[in-house]
Amino acid sequence: MRALLVVNHRATTTSGRVRDVLVQALRSVVNLEVAYTQRRGHAAGLSRQAAKDGMDVVVALGGDGTVNEIVNGLLSDGPGPRVPALAVVPGGSTNVFARALGLPNDWVEATGVLLEALREHRSRTIGLGRADDRYFTFCAGYGLDAEVIRKVEQARRRGTTSTPTLYVRALATQYLLSGGRNRPKITLERPGEIADTDLDTAIVQNTTPWTYLGNRPVDACPDASFDLGLDMLGVRALHTPGFARTLTQLLLPDGVRRTRSGGPRGPHGKSVLRLHDSPEFTLRGDTPRALQLDGEYLGETDKVRFVAVPAALRVIW
């Protein structure tokens, strides 16, 4: 079995020691080549070439951004039987995708699971989301949460360490700066449905959870699954008591939330709109709005079409 290990040496928890131990371990079960990312976007090119070279597996050592790049490189010509499988060793600060697969967040334990899966030829096929022409593995955001990601990335470029506190602080700051009732709106368009023109922000999930605050999973759409279409949570009004209630529902663990409210799983109420298992929809902003995929800020756009891509990628787990 031929494998390529793609190493993002700038990932939060990746070090030379981690890399060396992983390389030695992988070489005990596969014919391994190693490549190092040099810039943003490089992992996509490396994995695209790996697919052309007929590699069997591409292993990502890095965070969710590295995984997203590799997935898009592997699927540059679309899903198919000749696409290499993906394996992940968590090396970022959050590692949502790896944890959603059921992998341990500790790289040593995750490596043990990966080695066992490779020896046993164990894998599964998962569905992905696509935003216009780019794939995402677990989540996307259009509006407020993408603006928060933008502020966090700006802080990290200034040397600030990525922590749950940084994200909460960025959320509070961006919320205060986001304006009041005159904030530009987002329109939801679905085939055969009347457009909903009254959203302030939207979170899209391809699986659960949406993200983590430390070890606590945070779920906007707790019924999302790799085996279904896309789920979405749209918030209608940010600067109202309803948004404060939605935010509380997001941050409380689901069991506590349901015990207190007696309501359904996930945020609910008049201030939210929810989609479950949707094959496609389009979000259109009155003005260009921030977009993030898998926790990576991609800039602003005035429209993005989301599509569920079933059985898109084989993963080792």
Indicate the pLDDT class of residue 255, thresholds 50, 70 and 90.
Answer: very low
Q: What percent of the chain has pLDDT over 90?
A: 73
CA angle 24, 26, 31 (to 5 degrees): 105
Average pLDDT, the chain: 91
**In this structure, which amino acid lies at residue 314?**
R
Q: Structural domains in the chain?
A: 2-121 (3.40.50.10330), 139-310 (2.60.200.40)
Give yes or no for residue 256 having a pLDDT over 70: no
DSSP per-residue letters across 29-77:
TSEEEEEE--STTHHHHHHHHHHHTT-SEEEEEE-HHHHHHHHHHHTTT
**Cα dihedral 252/282/175/245 (nearest 10):** -30
Q: Which of 53, 84, 70 shows the shortest CA–CA distance to 134?
A: 70
Q: How far is C-alpha 35 from the chain's CA centre?
A: 23
pLDDT of residue 257: 46
Query: CA of 221: how far to CAs of 76, 191, 217, 268, in Å?
Result: 28, 21, 11, 10
CB atoms under 10 Å from CB of 159, counted, come to 6
| pLDDT one-digit tens code per residue, 194-221 | 999 999 999 999 999 999 988 889 989 9
Given a cut of 80, whether residue 148 has pLDDT beyond it is yes
